Amino acid sequence: MDYFAWLERAIQAIPVKAPMDEPFLLKSLFDDFEWERLSQSERRRFGAIFASEVKESRISSIRRTEDAKNGSAQYIRIGE
């Protein structure tokens, strides 16, 4: 899996699929069938990479918020 390419796709999808000031899950940036094609370990690894990029402020305008009820990491788009 090309994690860098998926990261770029996620960043491109944020303005379109992540409403301002509303929590979202990483998987919501992709079509369901694309996300489900990834193995569970690939999704976990990609989630960790995305979380690291957000934590290090390399993805501007996104902050991590409290986890979803199922334990998935949630993010919020806070401005450009």
pLDDT score recorded for residue 80: 61
pLDDT score recorded for residue 70: 87
pLDDT score recorded for residue 1: 86
Number of domains in the chain: 1
Q: pLDDT tens across 12-69, in order?
A: 999 999 999 999 999 999 999 999 999 999 999 999 999 999 999 999 889 999 988 8
Over the range 34-66, which residues count as b (16 or more CB within 10 Å of their CB) and which as e? ebeebeeeebeebeebbeeebeeeebeebeeee
Domain containing 42: what range? Answer: 3-77
